[in-house]
Every structure is written in structure tokens, then in C-alpha cells.
Amino acid sequence: MRASILGSVLLSAAVAPVLARDSASAAVYELSNSANAGAINAPSSAGRLYLADKLGLSDFFYVEDNEVEALNKLHENDVAESSSKPKLLVELKGVDHPAEFFQSQELPPHFNVKDHVKNLVGGSLHKFASILSTAEDNIAAHLTKEIKAVGPKDVVSKLKEPFRHHDDALVSAWKHFTGKGDRHKRDQQRIDLGLQDSGLKLVNDKHFINDLASLIQLKTVEAGEKAVVFAQSVSLLSIGRKIGYDSKTYQLSKKALGDVLIELQNKFDVIVVAVGLDEVLHETQQADLEKRGAELESLFSTFEKRESGAACFSDEAACNSGTSNCSSHGACKEIKKKCWQCACKASYDKEKSKTTNWSGFDCGKKDISATAHLLLWTSVALILSVAAGVKLLFSMGDDALPGVLEAATQAKKTGQ
């Protein structure tokens, strides 16, 4: 299926230069192909076959005569050298201008698609994963709801390990990133998510935090050459529908996702399919967005339970992940069978000679209960003392004076 096999054929009207900035309904980027001559328009069927070939799945698809020209042109534009890195295919839904997604990085798409985009995305990625998983010794596993890995068992197992406590870490990231934690930890969370220079301050979209945290986590994994990772993102669709695609938050969120994907080149051969708005705002995908949103709401509600001390972590690793190691103010302890919680420890500031107690499910709150109790009971004692003194003065006013004082008082009156 490669260009050398197909032969050199001039591209007909099926593949033409991009004429308008918003002409594409989807754009496909190969981040290792940044030196290509320029994007072209291609039919969705040819684009699908090209992606299948990049994954070594050409034998599972039949090439129609009317697809040969377009497919040949796509391979002519493929200047990427062979790589030993695992592959990462990312599908981004809700992109306002697909052909300009990486514009700030001056990276053009490898090709644009204007027709039948649904044939290229969604079902195609699922089919690619299914075919790959049937290969000998290969297995498929979800790292998160949005990310699926396919490859040899030992390789996939290594990929899964960093994501074992992803949900717990996600709840913690949400708390700190949205400003519900202390300022220092919030700033550190923005650094961990790669957003310190993005201009984003607070983003209260759970899809965005989930997608970003998942992609950041991929930067830490070690995967073999035979691994293929498929990821789907709906966070831009979610943000755009909530506050508008022309909002500053949407544009900054889009750039933040793009920056993380660029950084993932260090670990993967990254292919990004940016899907335009006209292809994602239909009932089925909107229902999927709402369903996943409900799942995330349920997940994040555990934060409130844990904050009240009503919930436990399943093991020590989950506890450490979900509490950022008890905010470095304690350690995770098993308080009962399969119930791990933070045991907080006081910290001592030598410069100020001050001891600070900590509380909360993650030991992230200063415990002022002792100071509050001291202030309360001191105030109560003071009030009682004043009341007792006033009562004593009143009672003394009603009593007769002692004899000596009474005689002195009478002598003074007589003298007057």
C-alpha cells in the first residue's frame, strides 16, 4: 500500500490544495512530519486507509480504485523517518478550526478531510484497536475511560501501572487546580499540569482536567515499540458548549492541550485527529458527553465524602496518590481492614518557634481547634469572673457596715 507499490500517479481533483482556513471538517497531524511541504485535502476513506497503513494494518483493508490517487499522495507527503517509539493516536473533538490547531507551533496538518468525517474518526479508532488486539500475544486494556492501550502483555502492564490510581489523583488535582486547596499547592498543580505559562487560572470543567491529567500521565510511562495507545478527548467540546468557542478560556484550553501533545513526542510517535464542530454536535456524541460528565461528577463527589472523613482509600498507594502523600504533613495508615486514611502530624517551624497542627482527609488544613478551645474557655472563665465580681459588689451594697466603720460614718455626719 505504500507509495512505491502504488506507483507514481498525479493527484486528481479528489486531492486538492487547501483554499480556505475553515474548509476542513477534520485535520490529521503527524507531529513527526512537521517538515512536510503543506497540507492537502483528502477523502475520509483514503485518510482511514493511510492511518491503517501507519499502524501496519494495510492487509485488513481493501483499496478501491478511486482511493489510490489520494492514498499515493498522502504517502508522498510522508517524510517521517522510521521510529522505535510506540504510537499514540489522539482524537480531539470540538476543535473550532481543525486546520489551525497547531498554528501557534507553526505545524500544518498532514492532510485535511471535508467529507464523511465520521468514517474516519470514532469507529475507525475502535476498529484499529480491535484488529491490533487479535494479533498473537497482544492484549488491549483501558488505562482510563478515554485511553486504551494495545500491545504485548508485558508492555501493556507497564503502561497500566502509572494509571492504577488515576481517579484518586484526579480528585486531588481537581481540588488544587480549581482553588479549593491552599495557594502554594494550587500553583504547584498548575506546574504539574504544564499550565504555569498558559494564562489559564481556574478552569472548572472536569472533562478538561481529566483529559489534561491523563495526557500528562502518559509523559511518565515507559512503553515498548510495539505498543499503540488510542486516546479520545471531548473537553474542548465541553468547554466550547458551556462558555463559547470564541471565549478566551476555550482558546487557552486548546493551546494547553496542543502544548502537552507536542511534549509527548519525546515518548511517542503522535498522530492527532482534530475533529471540527460540524461533525461532533449530533445527538449520539452529545449523549456520550453527558454520560461521561455524569460519571465524572460521581467520581468527584468522593472528594466531599473524603473531606468529611466518611470515605476510605483502598490501599496505601491510592491514599498517597489521592492526598499528595498527605500533603507532606502525615502518612497514610490502615485504620481498619482495606481502609486507609491520613494520620496527620504536627510540623515545627524552627525560625518562628511555632508548632502547627494539621487536619482534613489530606492533612491540608491547619488545625486551629486547640487554639480555638483555649480562646473559648479563657473567654468563658473571664466572663464568669467578671459576673461573679459584679454580683459580689451588689451583694455587699445591701449588707450593714461593720461597727467601727458605722461609728466613723456617724461621727463624720455629726461633725457636718
* 214-226 tens-digit pLDDT: 888 888 887 777 8
Q: Rounded to an integer, what distance in angstroms lies between the CA atom of residue 410 and that of residue 416?
A: 10
Contact 275, 47 (CB under 8 A): no
Q: What mean pLDDT comes out for the span 27-41? A: 73
* 165-210 tens-digit pLDDT: 787 777 766 666 665 555 565 565 556 655 555 555 556 788 888 8
Give alpha helix (H) positions in 225-368: 235-243, 248-263, 283-307, 316-323
Q: Rounded to an integer, what distance in angstroms lies between the CA atom of residue 349 and that of residue 327?
A: 16
In the predicted structure, residue 269 carries a pLDDT above the cut 50 = yes
Q: Rounded to an integer, what distance in angstroms lies between the CA atom of residue 305 and that of residue 148?
A: 29
Task: Give the CA distances from residue 255 to residues 110, 185, 384, in Å, rounded to whole numbers and listed in that order.
Answer: 19, 23, 64
pLDDT confidence band for 8 (50 / 70 / 90): very low
* 299-327 tens-digit pLDDT: 777 666 655 555 678 788 878 877 778 87
**Contacts by 242-248, CB closer than 8 A, 24 or more apart:** 242/205, 245/94, 245/96, 245/277, 246/96, 248/199
More confident residue, 185 or 367: 367
More confident residue, 162 or 199: 162
In the predicted structure, residue 85 carries a pLDDT above the cut 90 = no
Contact 201, 185 (CB under 8 A): no
More confident residue, 89 or 356: 89
Q: Rounded to an integer, what distance in angstroms lies between the CA atom of residue 314 and that of residue 297?
A: 20
Q: What mean pLDDT comes out for the span 254-269? A: 89
Instruction: Give this prediction's pTM.
Output: 0.68
**346 φ, ψ (degrees, to nearest 5):** -70, 145
**Which burial class, exposed, middle or buried, applies to 241 when counting CB atoms under 10 A from its CB (0-12, 13-18, 19+)?**
middle
Average pLDDT, the chain: 75
Least confident of 15-19, 115-119, 302-306: 15-19
Half-sphere exposure of residue 149: CA atoms within 13 angstroms, side-chain side: 27
Residue ranges per domain, the chain? 26-302, 326-366
Contact 254, 260 (CB under 8 A): no
